Chains A and B, each alone.
Chain A
């Protein structure tokens, strides 16, 4: 069944979009990420113009994050204070990102920049996660006790000034890296159409040493607001948010997410992380291939200005 997307201005198949949403929702529920990093590239592979894929991806991320946050609120695994500080940074980063987005679009380099960012970030994060989770899997298989966070262990981040206490996360840390992390994620959110969970989660775990059970809920909490802000700014400055497209993805996504979350509970943490790492790497490799393979058409057309 075809449907005409009012903003993307093309006809697409409803069932393809619903299935896409459901598949990504399943994975995002399983791994506790928004799924924006999968949705946006998938939309681009499906010939949705990258600018619209990004803005609509950000909109779709809100739905899956709300759905996820509700279950974390029930379990009490959400640090509102940490989320709030991350968010303050996120708004600044998002605003900067929107301007860079518009600038690159006028320059004709937006598609390249989006692809490069995806390849570099997904490649790095996926690679690191894979290495870490494999060594964790080996450690548990050989019977060694998992290495726990040592309370006395401090890195350079913990020597920064302006310390703040985050009770729910059992954390006493400077606000500078928290704000910086938020800003970085906000920037990526507006340029890549992602919530940034795939960076936020490892960063909170490995850099700030936030307990893993609080990380996902808190990251989802702040992602709701960052992507809501990104959606709003894209809607007002670029008019690239397609609600019809977003709604179809969400509808599939929220259904898939709840099933995914249940499936995720049956897998162990390190197995889950290894699988997520493989998935992230697969997307990165797919996008990298597109960058290096001779494109079927060397020429492309675009209108002047924003559209």
Chain B
């Protein structure tokens, strides 16, 4: 017991001794990102947009920076939601939804911006460890009892469908260094970008090694008239229904008055 305690004290001592030692070797790099706003509003005309995220490297090694060996990957990840993936099969000539697989906590959207193609930045294994990139996101099946082959098939389909809907996207070259320290990332917001709290994350790599991560939150919400309609439809659904009916009746009556032909 006594020996253990002594060891622990030594470990503590070495920790407190670390800062002076650090001052002699080059400072470790860090990364920071900043959003100009913590909320983005979607209005009626929203047909997708590019979101620009600025960030900076802390203590970059000028030599490494000149050689372009710093890489940055920025991810904008939508709120996690459960998703049902269904597969159509032919039954008596008709295509119907037969098999399905439910996944928990699937990010509704996942936009990636990188300095270079993903495969040039680092090894596939480090992406897996970081769970970075749409193809490395772990999709957790609700029913783990299904065969791995089935789960794999539906996971692939889920990624493919998300990419086809523009919700999972990759913008190679979307991160550009403006100076040695400053970079700008452009991530794509799909026209059907989900509302909710999105998480922006930036990953710094140096010569293929992961150094640091930084994150920020971004609220995406609907604004204006559409948002009011949406809220009323959900919060006061009965009144909303009555309003929809009245609107239809008045429109029908006015239409008759204005356009009558008999």
Residues of A within 8 A of B (CB): 2-7, 9-11, 59-60, 62-67, 70-71, 108-109, 111-112, 116, 224, 228, 231-236, 239, 241, 243-244, 246-247, 250-251, 253-255, 257-259, 261-262, 265, 291-295, 297-304
Nearest chain B CB to A226's CB is how many angstroms away? 12
Nearest B residue to A252 by beta-carbon distance?
B255
Provided the pairs A108-B86, A235-B241 are in contact, do residues A66 and B249 lie with their beta carbons within 8 angstroms?
yes
Q: Tell me the B234-258 residues at the A interface (CB within 8 Å).
A: 234, 237-238, 240-245, 247-249, 251-256, 258
Nearest B residue to A251 by beta-carbon distance?
B251
Question: Which of A65, A234, A300, A303 contacts B252 (CB under 8 A)?
Answer: A65
- Which residues of chain B are near A297, meaning CB under 8 Å? 161, 164
Nearest chain B CB to A265's CB is how many angstroms away? 8
Sample (21) of A-B pairs whose CB atoms are under 8 Å apart: A4-B43, A6-B227, A6-B233, A7-B230, A10-B192, A63-B251, A66-B249, A67-B255, A112-B94, A228-B248, A235-B237, A243-B229, A251-B255, A254-B251, A254-B259, A262-B262, A295-B95, A298-B88, A300-B85, A302-B86, A303-B82
Nearest B residue to A253 by beta-carbon distance?
B255
- Which residues of chain B are near A67, meaning CB under 8 Å? 252-253, 255-256
A250 to B258, CA, bound (A): 14
A60 to B255, CA, bound (A): 13
- Which residues of chain A are near B238, meaning CB under 8 Å? 232, 235-236
CB atoms of B85 and A299 under 8 A apart:
yes
Nearest A residue to B254 by beta-carbon distance?
A254
Nearest chain B CB to A193's CB is how many angstroms away? 13
CB atoms of B254 and A112 under 8 A apart:
no
- Which residues of chain B are near A291, meaning CB under 8 Å? 94-95
- Which residues of chain B are near A246, meaning CB under 8 Å? 244, 247-248
- Which residues of chain A are near B164, meaning CB under 8 Å? 297
Q: Tell me the B143-163 residues at the A interface (CB within 8 Å).
A: 154, 157-158, 160-162
Question: Which of A228, A257, A262, A292 contacts B255 (CB under 8 A)?
Answer: A257
CB atoms of A4 and B46 under 8 A apart:
yes
A236 to B229, CA, bound (A): 14
CB atoms of A259 and B248 under 8 A apart:
no
Q: Tell me the B94-119 residues at the A interface (CB within 8 Å).
A: 94-97, 100, 102
Nearest B residue to A224 by beta-carbon distance?
B249
CB atoms of B230 and A236 under 8 A apart:
no
Question: Which of B43, B157, B225, B237 contacts A236 (CB under 8 A)?
Answer: B237
CB atoms of A4 and B259 under 8 A apart:
no
Question: Which of under 10, 10 to 19, 20 to 34, or 35 or more describes the interface residues of B?
Answer: 35 or more
CB atoms of B83 and A250 under 8 A apart:
no
Question: Which of B42, B85, B242 contacts A4 (CB under 8 A)?
Answer: B42
A261 to B43, CA, bound (A): 38
CB atoms of B84 and A254 under 8 A apart:
no
Q: Does B81 contact A (CB under 8 A)?
A: yes
Nearest chain B CB to A296's CB is how many angstroms away? 10
CB atoms of A303 and B81 under 8 A apart:
yes
Nearest A residue to B167 by beta-carbon distance?
A301
Q: Tell me the B70-99 residues at the A interface (CB within 8 Å).
A: 81-89, 93-97
CB atoms of A7 and B229 under 8 A apart:
yes
Q: Does B66 contact A (CB under 8 A)?
A: no
A194 to B237, CA, bound (A): 21
Q: Does B69 contact A (CB under 8 A)?
A: no
- Which residues of chain B are near A6, meaning CB under 8 Å? 222, 225-227, 229-230, 233
- Which residues of chain B are near A293, meaning CB under 8 Å? 95
Provided the pairs A4-B46, A292-B94 are in contact, do residues A299 and B259 lie with their beta carbons within 8 angstroms?
no
CB atoms of B81 and A299 under 8 A apart:
no
CB atoms of A63 and B248 under 8 A apart:
yes
17 new A-B pairs (CB below 8 Å) besides A71-B256, A235-B238?
A: A4-B46, A7-B230, A7-B233, A64-B252, A116-B94, A224-B249, A241-B233, A241-B244, A251-B251, A259-B261, A298-B95, A299-B85, A301-B162, A302-B86, A303-B82, A303-B83, A303-B84
CB atoms of A250 and B261 under 8 A apart:
no
CB atoms of B252 and A302 under 8 A apart:
no
Nearest A residue to B157 by beta-carbon distance?
A299
A71 to B260, CA, bound (A): 9
Nearest chain A CB to B196's CB is how many angstroms away? 13
Which one of A2, A254, A262 has the greatest number of beta carbons of chain B within 10 Å? A254
Nearest chain B CB to A272's CB is how many angstroms away? 16
Interface membership of chain B positions 161-195, coded 1 if the CB is closer than 8 angstroms to chain A and 0 otherwise: 11011000000000000000000000000011000
CB atoms of A66 and B43 under 8 A apart:
no
Q: Does B8 contact A (CB under 8 A)?
A: no
Nearest B residue to A56 by beta-carbon distance?
B244
- Which residues of chain A are near B245, meaning CB under 8 Å? 59, 62, 228, 231-232
Nearest B residue to A237 by beta-carbon distance?
B237
A243 to B259, CA, bound (A): 22
- Which residues of chain A are near B19, meaning CB under 8 Å? none
CB atoms of A62 and B252 under 8 A apart:
yes
Nearest chain A CB to B246's CB is how many angstroms away? 9
CB atoms of A243 and B243 under 8 A apart:
yes
- Which residues of chain A are near B136, meaning CB under 8 Å? none
Nearest chain A CB to B151's CB is how many angstroms away? 14
Nearest B residue to A29 by beta-carbon distance?
B261
Nearest B residue to A262 by beta-carbon distance?
B261
